[in-house]
A and B are shown apart, each in its own frame.
Chain A
Amino acid sequence: MDPLVFWTLMIAITTAVACALCGVYLVVNHESMVAEALSHAVLPGIIVAFVIFQDRSSPWLIISAGLSGLLMVWLVQTIRNTRLVDGDAALGIVFSALFSVGIIAASQNLNNTHFHAHCIIDGNLASAALQTVQLLGVEIPRSFLVMASVLVALLVFILFFYKEMKLAMFDAELSQSFGFRPALLHLGWLALVSITTVAAFETVGSILVVALMIAPPAAGFLLGSRLWKMLVISSLVGVFSSLVGFQAGYVLNISPTGPIATVAGLVFLVTVVFAPRQGVLAKARLRQRQRSDLFQQLLLARLKRDTPDAVGVRELSDSVTWTDQQFRRALTQCKNKGWVTEDGATVGLTEQGKQVADSPDETLAL
């Protein structure tokens, strides 16, 4: 594999996994919009650091942007505490205001620099691997080193504070009473999320950051019944989206960021439909089965009222308000299970059918 392609792919994958890990906590905590807000609110921090240091690759950009993200979190919290506006509104006000400040600052100071609108939205993954540094005699792209460090920081945080984060998110009061510091943990985590956002922002742009932070964890939420499973599944979805999206971009000869975001969205869509327990299909199937059970049981109950004599099919079908099709299906299913017998135009209960009719609560959970 061409080293440039290899490293570009590696950058995409590390970014995807880092974003997925961040996103799991945001999605579980009902804070998905924070990803969107942070991806915009970091802009003034980036511009300020750039104006001061005049160096696009200065680590101060990331730090300053992280601080800008925390500023947003603090402002949102302050506005929320006034109780004059809703939490969502506070978020909307603050991040758009910070983003506007960033845009104005950029257009005033940086007209002739690398900062262009399309870079902010699309990033430039395609050329992210071009700028390299020497490490142990190997040429490694700077972007990869940045993303890998961020990923390691996230993994270390999760490794150490998995239990504390879980408790803080699920039950902050209990966490506080145990002497853990849920508010501090949350703030620390959001600081890491802002740093991840900035680091990823540079390579993949603001849209992909949001897509990679929300779509894989949203799929993971439907598939994983526990927090750690959700972390693993979301990361895998992120990796898969990067691989497939990258390939698609290569084939279509376009920037890979768009296809990666699209694949992540598609994976979520497929999950919503096909997830084994929470998916739309699974739920529809379950509902249909329950409804079919209900009809069969009701049919038996109607028959039982008229035993011992066999009942005319017409008469039986008139005693219920179902469509012909529903009635026919219920009757056929009961026959297949050996609960009723149909003899010409009359229907009767079998011994087995009588037993089932006597204890409908087991099937219907009455």
Chain B
Amino acid sequence: MPEVTPALKINGLTVAYDSIPVLWNVDLSINPGVMMGVVGPNGAGKSTLLKAVLGVVPTLAGRTEVLGKRFTKNRQQIGYVPQRTSVDWDFPTTVLDLVTMGTYGSLGWVWRPGAKQRKQAMAALERFELAEFAKRQIGELSGGQQQRAFLARALVQNAPIYFLDEPFAGVDATTEKAIVKLLQSLRDEGKTIVVVHHDLTTICDYFDEITLINKKIISTGPVSCAFTANLLEKTYGGPIKNCGIDCGFRDAPVELKGLPAESNDA
């Protein structure tokens, strides 16, 4: 069987802020069509991992390939949804404008978005049931609507890979479910979804595969083998009790793609 080109292949990625390493010698490979959760304690470098791949933070070492090519030569392949709180929602712009920003990357320097881009943006807004808010000021949206608008902005890129940084932070349960459903439908279309996630109790429901990280990769692979009590303990540096995790591994894939629940720091 021919080898599948990984959606994302990270080799020896190391990032430090000043002289304090945040990510240490990270190797990670994500297959296409997978919904992957990235989980770890605060300061474990989850967001930094996404940002380092996107070239938003400088790296000290390592190489990243997106669908077999360097990211700098393949920027349009990843749609990025930053943390909602990372931007100023009082910024003078409308919801439609915000979503149209997703097309800026493909437009390149100087060219302005036109009718085609606005049409794409409207289509994305409709998919997220935000069409009626198109002309609204972004500050008038509720937290959940803002998050959906952010997702719509990434969606107009029509990228094969999506990076989401804590998309469920500060949204209500209904919105969370709606977003998950949408992400899963994107996954079913063959997209690769990488989500920085905090809530351990929902991992089994939401994700196919998981990466446990704490500066180094602790484990990565299908939820059934990479998400065990031992590995969690190792990630969080102590036993995780009473958090209601009960996967039962009902949806464990039969074939584990030859990925044992290995530890990377040996």
Q: Interface residues, chain A, CB within 8 Å of chain B?
A: 28, 30, 160-164, 166-167, 169-171, 173-180, 221, 224-227, 229-230
Q: Check: B158 CB closer than 8 A to any chain A CB.
A: no
Q: Which residues of B contact A161 (CB under 8 A)?
A: 109-110
In the assembled complex, the Cα of A167 lies from the Cα of B105 at a distance in Å of 10
Q: List 24 A-B contacts (CB under 8 A).
A: A160-B110, A163-B107, A163-B111, A163-B112, A166-B93, A170-B87, A170-B88, A170-B91, A170-B93, A171-B86, A173-B51, A173-B82, A174-B101, A176-B56, A177-B55, A177-B78, A178-B75, A178-B104, A225-B92, A225-B93, A225-B94, A226-B97, A227-B92, A227-B93
B72 to A179, Cβ gap below 8 A?
yes
Q: Which residues of B contact A167 (CB under 8 A)?
A: 101, 104
A177 to B75, Cβ gap below 8 A?
yes
B94 to A173, Cβ gap below 8 A?
no
Q: Which chain A residue lies CB-closest to B101?
A: A167
Count B-side interface residues using an 8 Å CB cutoff: 28
Q: Which chain A residue lies CB-closest to B157?
A: A178
B137 to A225, Cβ gap below 8 A?
yes
Q: Check: B54 CB closer than 8 A to any chain A CB.
A: yes
Q: How far is the CB of A7 from chain B (nearest CB, A)?
A: 34
Q: Which chain A residue lies CB-closest to B154?
A: A174
Q: Which residues of B contact A177 (CB under 8 A)?
A: 54-56, 75, 78, 80, 105
Question: Assuming the A-B contacts A162-B112, A163-B113, A226-B93, are A171 and B75 also in contact, with contact meaning beta carbons closer than 8 angstroms in the complex?
Answer: no
A28 to B109, Cβ gap below 8 A?
no
B51 to A28, Cβ gap below 8 A?
no
Q: Which chain B residue lies CB-closest to A230?
A: B92
In the assembled complex, the Cα of A30 lies from the Cα of B91 at a distance in Å of 10
Question: Assuming the A-B contacts A162-B112, A173-B82, A177-B56, are A28 and B104 also in contact, with contact meaning beta carbons closer than 8 angstroms in the complex?
Answer: no
Q: How far is the CB of A171 from chain B (nearest CB, A)?
A: 5
Q: How far is the CB of A306 from chain B (nearest CB, A)?
A: 36
Q: How far is the CB of B26 from chain A (nearest CB, A)?
A: 18
B109 to A164, Cβ gap below 8 A?
yes
| Residue from the list A30, A176, A229 in contact with B55, Cβ < 8 A | A176
In the assembled complex, the Cα of A173 lies from the Cα of B112 at a distance in Å of 20
| Residue from the list B82, B111, B112, B113 in contact with A171, Cβ < 8 A | B82
Q: How far is the CB of B265 from chain A (nearest CB, A)?
A: 29
Q: Which residues of B contact A179 (CB under 8 A)?
A: 55, 72, 75, 105
In the assembled complex, the Cα of A167 lies from the Cα of B111 at a distance in Å of 13
Question: Assuming the A-B contacts A164-B109, A226-B94, are A173 and B86 also in contact, with contact meaning beta carbons closer than 8 angstroms in the complex?
Answer: yes
Q: Which residues of A contact B87 (CB under 8 A)?
A: 170-171
Interface string of B150-161 (1 = CB under 8 A from A): 000000000000
Give the contacts of B89-127 with A (CB-CB under 8 A).
91-94, 97-98, 101, 104-105, 107, 109-113
B101 to A171, Cβ gap below 8 A?
yes
